[in-house]
A and B are shown apart, each in its own frame.
Chain A
Amino acid sequence: MPVTIRMNPSVLIVVLLAGGLNAAPDGAALFQTQCAACHGSRGEGVAGKVDEPLQGKRSLAGLAKYIDRFMPEDHPEKCQGDDANRVAEWIFGAFYSPAARANAQAPRLQLSHLTNEQYRQTVADLFGLFTGRPGEFTGGGLEARYFNAEKMEQRKEHLVDRIDSQIVLDPAVLAGVPKLKPGSFSVTWTGSLFAPETGDYGFRGITENGVKLFLNPLPWREGREEVPVIDGWVSRGDQPRIEEARLFLTGGRPYPVRVQFLAYGQKSASLRFEWKPPGGVWELVPATYLSKSWAPAVAVPTTGFPPDDASQGYERGIAVSNEWFDAVVRASVELADFASQNLDSLAGTKPGAPDRDEKIRTCCVRFAERAFRRPLAEPQRSALLKDFDPENPETTVRELVMRVLCSPRFLYPLPPGAPTDGFATAASLALSLWDSVPDEPLWQAAAKDRLTTAEQIGEQARRMLANPRARHKLNGFFRHWLALGGAERMAKDPKTFPSFDEHLIADLAVSLGLFLDEVVWNGNADYRDLLLADFLHVSPRMAAFYGLPPVAGEGFTKVSLPTAQRAGVLTHPYLMASLAYYKSSSPIHRGVFVTRNVLGRTLKPPPMAIEFMDDRFDPSLTMREKVTQLTSKPACMSCHELINPLGFSLENFDAAGRWRDRDAGKPVDPTGSYPTTQGESLALRGPRDLATQAIASPEASRSFLIQLFQHTVKQAPQAYGPDTVDQLHASFTTDQYHIRNLLARIAATAAAPQPNPATP
């Protein structure tokens, strides 16, 4: 096809003439006469008519069929049959298809600064290089030591040491400690606490006695005792009270924790130690997040950063605003204080040590090298330390840390003009898989020139997947892929769904997390299981609400459900409830989600904003009937012919994600016919069918791959070569759709040495 035609009036005339001679106008000419008025002469759009460019993922046949049925919008009968085929052919080759767009403008690697999450993970790991590695986080609870107290001796008589899975003192617990004096005793719990997500955490002790919480203690000066986050040591009479604090934590890592309790001369003793993780509810800290293992303090800046740019559907560091730069400076001051105040322990020395100076200098160089992600050559090394003041190393270090953390070399992890060597590869791998900087083994691999071949890079990528940071990163992807941002704040009509409260929502979130963990990290990591698996993790609260068989115990039980009702994440009640209205299901939200996120098809923004107002409809109509009525106009149906059948296939799930057979007193009809990109019609008979069709669709798995790539690398995959997606997709398919291997391959692809962007 002549895809390079530049439309100017003279060419147009030639084309028209040529068309005239052949008696049938060719596609380009047809487009100009029938379509260009709204779409622009190159499909770029016309302000006030069709704003967005004419692009999409339909196959040529699908596009032709679509034009045949719906275009031009006001007179679909004017372009049908062969005309529709010819127009479709021209559009497809000229600008519509992904291939045409890739030829026209290949995406390039875009210079980006660290995203907020990358900044937080990076500084935590940078300082972590000097604070030691945490022990293996096993979960299960904290180490508890119980003592009887007498007057000023809070540890007068040692009673027992044990592991407590939860930090709670109630009559049953107290009865379990022999010889305990109920009104006068002390307990200390120690170990580490895992923060699953980045954000604000609430902590509180509910007690009539004394409670202290030390969490991630950062002493102001070395040698001082740590400052408690909660200091409720002194009780106030015998009334239970709430001692509460909030703390911002960087997710995906353990923090050192110690909880202390004291009852003395009091009538009663009790404690509930609870947390409220980001988006969660107040609850006893679950044992999964408590471990007796040791963890070092983590550098966590409290400065808030403005949100990252997400205009392309994934977060990346291309927004440079005043607020961002301000946050960079403020955070650097906070971290500089942290470094200068903890200098001796970070540098592994102590005041007065003969080699203190030397150790601090070494520490400074190592810090800068790791922050800049490559070794410093001699002149840079001297420049870094040229202001080093042996009389006052704290001040020097403070300034140096500010200098390093404000430096573009730190903020732009893959800077222009940097050599394409092993260190660049290592930096890219660490960013992709951990949002962070290389750890020691990765750094050493780069230093020893063992990051050159695809095998070497792949080997490192696979090693890095075993680190909890990789899991943290992948969790972030799933939140994004499943559009769960803000889902924890959903609300349902309390009359229709009496016990759908914040606790149930929190359970649903955990349940989905457990499902993803099971599929991605425990099993074959098969992408198809994400959509097809028949099991669900059920809490007692969920069992009661969803009418499932009762489950034993407090926690979650993995239950297999009838396959007709269960299809992986697609039918998970958390997702179904979040993609629904206050009182009713929403086939449109569900359909749009499936179309875009699962099947990877593009949708234009709606031509007009129509609010769904339930009370405008005859109450005897089913939701399906209402939506059909609402979207019946041709202008709507150009997208809703796709959206509606997909949404309708999930109509067996009500607004809370509960299975139903009837809606508005009539049987639910989940069947429909869905037009594929190939222009075929596929029959859908319900959720299971939907999932089966999705996993059979190469577009869906490609789309999953592209979204994962974007989230991981924060660049367009095509920027790494026009065949990148094809190659990754081919290996994904032959590899039984193994998600973890795909992730490793994506990271390795992005980390492979790239040609240097052309210098001007």
Chain B
Amino acid sequence: MIHSSRRQLLRTLGLSAAALPFTGILRAADPPPAPRRRIVFVFSPNGTVPDEFWPDSPGPDFTFKRILSPLTEFRDRTLLLRGISNKVRGDGDGHMRGMGCMLTGIELLPGNIQGGSDTPAGWASGISFDQELKNHLQSNPATRTRVGSLSLGVAVPNRADPWTRWSYSGANQPITPLDDPSRVFQTLYGGIKDKKTLGSVLDGVAAELRDFAAKAPPADRELLERHLTHVRELERKLQQTDAAPMRHPVPPPDPRLELVNDRIPEISRAQIELLVGAFANDDTRVATIQYTHSVGQARMTWLGIPDAHHSLSHDPDHAKESHEKLVKINQWFAGEIAHLAKRLASIPEADGQGTLLDHTTILWTNELGKGNSHSQDNLPFLLLGGGLGFKTGRVLDLGGIPHNRLWLAIAHALGHPLTTFGKPELCHDGPLPLA
């Protein structure tokens, strides 16, 4: 991996001077033509609690159990897919492969990162599905957006290894999720904020230059005059780049928000707000949100659970207290999904055709089906919203098919008819029929 310096790093993060207003955030005044289709992949770790996640039977007549109860109002817009497995094998333990092979559908490379069992492993050997979609949408002017894709995180540790990355721009190229709302805001809208500040800074500079010129000997005035000319020039440019206002104004996140465990609920809401804003302004149509990481140890003190999530997930089924805590933890994640859905449903599309949720699918999943068995079968796939045109309001049991076929189905729904994605051997029988 070559970082060409901090400069490059800053640029990647959208922090460099490239974010300055005069280099421009120019926005199209008119929204691009419909239909827009969007997708956001949401990850939460350490497996679910199957008996409190899956409805009792498949089909259209189901009721949510406790974990999904926060989503009750979206029952008819939800599609639950049981019987999907991550069948990618190879190096790495279950957590690592669950994370690194989820969106990539392909093996991890051999490496030096050792988990509690199995063999050491390295990065995934292929691009992740979200980036594949991004590349597809960005290659077409009709679907191209300013940002292309947004990789968000909530409480992701500052540590790059196969447990902390699920999005890859290619083999060996993991993408760092942006887990600081202020940084996300700066990436998306930093230029607009700077422009106001800069305008006032330049006023002060011009006044001081005039004061200097009055005191300077005549021979030095020319230099100051030239300086002043450039100040005016920049002021003029700033006014010129006054572009169409944002359709959906996004206020900056609270800069005092500390990125610590106990602030996870606020961080989550701030990230959701930024994501909804980015969708509403059509800055991106593909996004991921990663809550903590595989083996994540969030302590949900705000639910009265001081225990670390991953440690709890290893407790046996009969440990009632732990079981109860894990239900509450997963219910909290479902609540965040519900909040995201509510926000999307509350904002009309630019063209007046329905709401954002009508054209957005939230896909929520996990690296494991069940925490204490490290099973990669029956991964909890939940799809919510109308971004893909899939038939919702039902539960399907697919009987143990590889998850690569779900990615194929989504690709087809977004006009990208792939025949394989990830490991070709896992793509037999093509896209899942979900429409």
Contacts and interface: CB of A to CB of B under 8 A. Distances in A.
A440 B209 CA distance: 29
Interface in B1-45: 1-7, 9-10, 13, 15-17, 20
B201 A403 contact: yes
Chain B CB within 10 A, most for which of A226, A325, A417: A325
Given A234-B123, A325-B234, A223 B160 contact: no
Chain A CB within 10 A, most for which of B3, B110, B183, B197: B3
Contacts of B204: 403, 406-407
B122 A235 contact: yes
Contacts of B209: 408
A285 to B, nearest CB: 17
A224 B111 contact: no
B116 A320 contact: no
Contact of B223 (A238, A320, A759): A320
Contacts of A227: 9, 158
A486 interface: no
Contacts of B85: none
A545 interface: no
Interface in A381-426: 392, 394-395, 398-399, 402-403, 406-409, 412, 415-417
Contact of A236 (B115, B158, B172, B255): B172
Nearest to B215: A417
B350 interface: no
B112 interface: yes
A325 B231 contact: yes
B161 interface: yes
A263 interface: yes
Interface stretch (A37-45, A163-171, A327-335): A327-335
Interface in A300-329: 302-303, 318, 320-322, 324-326, 329
Contact of A334 (B16, B123, B223): B16
Given A245-B3, A329-B198, A264 B219 contact: no
Interface stretch (B63-71, B140-148, B256-264, B308-316): B256-264
A563 interface: no
Nearest to B203: A403
Nearest to B226: A320
A220 B112 contact: no
B6 A247 contact: yes
Interface residues of B, number: 66
B310 to A, nearest CB: 12
Nearest to B113: A234
B212 A416 contact: yes
B391 interface: no
B227 A320 contact: yes
B393 interface: no
Given A322-B233, A402-B201, A408-B208, A234 B3 contact: no
Given A234-B111, A236-B109, A318-B223, A408 B158 contact: no
A545 B423 CA distance: 56
B304 interface: no
Interface string B286-305: 00000000000000000000
A759 B212 contact: no
Contacts of B110: 235-238
A534 interface: no
B428 interface: no
B180 A221 contact: yes
A152 B121 CA distance: 12
Contact of A330 (B20, B200, B258): B20
Contacts of A234: 111-113, 122-123, 160-162
Interface string B221-243: 00110110011011000000000
A264 B113 contact: yes
Contact of A302 (B7, B162, B200): B7
Interface in A25-77: none
A757 B114 contact: no
A249 to B, nearest CB: 10
B205 interface: yes
B114 A264 contact: yes
Interface string A226-259: 1101111111111000011111100000000000
A200 B4 CA distance: 10
Contact of A416 (B9, B157, B216): B216
A406 B206 CA distance: 10
Contacts of B201: 332, 399, 402-403, 406
Nearest to A395: B255
B402 to A, nearest CB: 25
A111 B259 contact: no
A398 B197 contact: yes
B251 interface: no
Contacts of B17: 303, 330-331, 333-334
Chain A CB within 10 A, most for which of B17, B112, B209, B255: B112
Contacts of A108: 217, 219
A302 B113 contact: no
Contacts of A247: 5-6
A657 B223 CA distance: 45
Contacts of B182: 221
Chain B CB within 10 A, most for which of A226, A265, A303, A398: A265
Given A322-B233, A408-B227, A110 B220 contact: yes
Given A416-B216, A416-B217, A221 B259 contact: yes
B172 A229 contact: no
B352 interface: no
A447 to B, nearest CB: 24
Nearest to B15: A337
A456 interface: no
Contact of A231 (B1, B112, B256): B1
Interface of B: 1-7, 9-10, 13, 15-17, 20, 109-116, 119-120, 122-123, 157-162, 172, 180, 182-183, 194, 197-198, 200-202, 204-205, 208-209, 212, 215-220, 223-224, 226-227, 230-231, 233-234, 255-256, 258-260
A-B complex: 9 closest residue pairs judged by Cβ atoms:
A417-B215, A330-B17, A111-B220, A416-B216, A325-B230, A225-B158, A302-B7, A235-B112, A246-B5
Interface of A: 108, 110-111, 151-152, 200, 209-210, 218, 220-221, 223-227, 229-238, 243-248, 262-266, 302-303, 318, 320-322, 324-326, 329-334, 337, 340, 351, 392, 394-395, 398-399, 402-403, 406-409, 412, 415-417, 757-760
17 contacts: A151-B116, A152-B116, A221-B182, A223-B258, A223-B259, A234-B162, A238-B110, A245-B2, A246-B4, A248-B5, A264-B114, A302-B7, A325-B231, A334-B10, A394-B256, A760-B217, A760-B218
